[in-house]
Each structure stands twice: as C-alpha cells, then as structure tokens.
Amino acid sequence: MIRFTNVDKWYPSRAGRTHILKDVNFQLNKGERLGVVGGNGAGKSTLIRLASGSERPTSGRVEQTFSVSWPLALAAAFQYGLTGLDNMRFICRVYGVDAHEIVDFVYDFTELDRYMREPLNVYSSGMMARLAFALSMAIEFDCYLIDEVTAVGDHRFQQKCHLELFEKRADRAMMIVSHSEYYLASHCTHGALLEGGILTVCTDVEEALRLHEERTSL
C-alpha cells in the first residue's frame, strides 16, 4: 500500500512559495493501477517522486507498506563515469540483490552487448533508458511507478517492455503518469486528475480523462 495523507509540497522561489501539491489524499492498494492525468507542470512527476520516497513532502505523510520501484527508465541514480555493468552492481548493492542472479537478464533485455562494459558517458539517452528499464524489471517490486516511459527503444523493444511489465507483472500495483489517453485507458483500473496542485481521485480512468478534457476546453 502507498498512502498519502494531507500531503503538501512546495518549493521556494523568488516570488515566494510555489505550491506544487495541496492537501493530497489517496491510497494505492495491491494490484491497483492508478492513472494520473494533468497538464504540463501540474505536479505529476513530483507526485511520482514522493511516492517513490526520493523526495519528502513539505507537510503531511507518505506511507509505504510494500516495495516501490524508482520511476521506470529514470537514470538519475546512475554514475556516468562507471560502466553499465558497474552501475548494475551498484544498484544491486543498494537494493540487496545478488548481481550474479540478474546479469544475464540485463544483458539479454538491454541488447547493449559490449556497451555494458563502456562508461555511461558514451551512452545515448535511449541506451541509458534501456539499462534503467532492464534494472527495473530485474529487481522485483510490489509497485511500479511509471512516468512517461512508453517510448523506450523501437517498436520491438517496446513490445518486450510491455510483456515484462504489464503481462508478467499483471498482479502488481502501478501508478502511471502519461499524456496518452489510450495508454491510461488500456492499463489503469482507476484514475485521478491533478490540477492546480489538487488531486481528484475518480471511480475510473475514463472519468478522470473526461474531467481533464472539460477543464482544458474551458
């Protein structure tokens, strides 16, 4: 379970406090898939970071009772002077996983071959996204956080990502942020609209998409 209780998040700016999230309350349970829709700058990525534990709320509480992934395909924790292989070992140490148990999967999934032994500062953004996504799949979590990662690689690689995430892990909880209405409608059990820092949880993702369309058409 992930539970947000009266969560506020603001950042200092020259004009004063910039509120990103205001009194957010919701709960994500095992097996549920929450699709979050909202405009650019609405705070969706901030919501994902708070859910992952990589950021703390300014006030309120974020609780986790199951294991939660980092945002899929996020390479922020990588060390760019290290090789792909060494970054894999580093992530494994952080999460208490034996690197020997996942190395074959990561090589096969990423299809990076010799580049696994090259430093990340020679990787393209797509190559880093492949490595980050592969590690997200190699280390098992109860809940996956997905922040606009559907365009990793070509169509064949995207199909491989879909199989690993949505078919092999169909029983996991997920929080999905995307601008694609089709993607959210296809993969989410319920939805929420984030607008003006306020999260409105809906009975289903279609209701959240309707609300978003109504607000943007005003």
Whether residue 159 lies inside any domain: the answer is no
Whether residue 206 lies inside any domain: the answer is yes
Number of C-beta neighbours around residue 99 at 10 A:
16
Residue 7's domain comprises 1-67+174-218
Please calculate the CA angle 74-77-79 and round it to the nearest 5 degrees: 120
The domain tally of the chain equals: 1
CB-CB contact of 199 with 26 (8 Å): yes
CATH number at residue 201: 3.40.50.300
What is the predicted pLDDT for the residue at 73?
Answer: 65
Whether residue 184 lies inside any domain: the answer is yes
**Mean pLDDT, the chain, as a whole number?**
91
Whether residue 17 lies inside any domain: the answer is yes
CB-CB contact of 29 with 204 (8 Å): no
pLDDT tens string 100-153: 999 999 999 999 999 999 999 999 988 988 898 899 899 999 999 998 765 566
Q: What is the DSSP code (8-state) at residue 164?
A: I
What is the predicted pLDDT for the residue at 152?
Answer: 63
How far is the CA of 53 from the CAs of 16, 56, 61, 63, 166, in angstroms?
25, 7, 11, 9, 23
Q: Is the per-residue pLDDT at 169 higher than 90?
A: yes
pLDDT tens string 56-74: 999 999 999 999 998 886 7
Whether residue 108 lies inside any domain: the answer is no
Whether residue 80 lies inside any domain: the answer is no
Whether residue 149 lies inside any domain: the answer is no
Number of C-beta neighbours around residue 8 at 10 A:
16
pLDDT tens string 15-49: 888 899 999 999 999 999 999 999 888 999 899 99
Number of C-beta neighbours around residue 150 at 10 A:
17
Whether residue 59 lies inside any domain: the answer is yes
CB-CB contact of 26 with 175 (8 Å): no
